């Protein structure tokens, strides 16, 4: 919209104003390109930070699983475990 307004305005003025307006249009286009590239760059950073965050959470969950397994082993009644283990060994023999 700005570009079309500037171009319509430039038709009514002299060459100096026309050159100035073309320069301003070029600068506006350059600003738009830089803004878009910064936007895409920040979007990539957000995705990278999200991946790092998920990796950190995966490590934490892994350690919670290990702790849960250790607690489950500690809660097992050894006598019942031996009976069950003997049944499994006999089943495969």
- 93: helix, strand or coil: coil
Residues in the chain: 93
Residue showing tokens 């919209």: 1
Identify the domain containing residue 52 by its residue range. 2-92
pLDDT, position 64: 92
Are 10 and 22 contacting, i.e. CB atoms less than 8 angstroms apart? Answer: yes
pLDDT, position 9: 63
Alpha-carbon gap, residue 56 to 72, rounded angstroms: 25
Nearest to 2 by CA among 27, 28, 23, 20: 28
Q: Considering its fold, how many domains does the chain have in total?
A: 1
Alpha-carbon gap, residue 48 to 7, rounded angstroms: 42
Q: Which one has a higher pLDDT value, 30 or 40?
A: 30
């Amino acid at each position: 919209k700005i570009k079309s307004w500037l171009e319509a305005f430039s038709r009514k003025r002299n060459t100096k104003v026309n050159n100035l307006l073309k320069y301003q249009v070029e600068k506006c286009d350059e600003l738009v390109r830089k803004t878009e590239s910064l936007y895409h760059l920040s979007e990539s950073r957000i995705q990278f930070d999200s991946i790092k965050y998920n990796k950190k959470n995966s490590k934490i969950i892994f350690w919670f699983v290990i702790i849960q397994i250790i607690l489950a082993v500690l809660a097992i009644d050894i006598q019942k475990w031996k009976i069950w283990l003997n049944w499994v060994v006999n089943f495969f023999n």
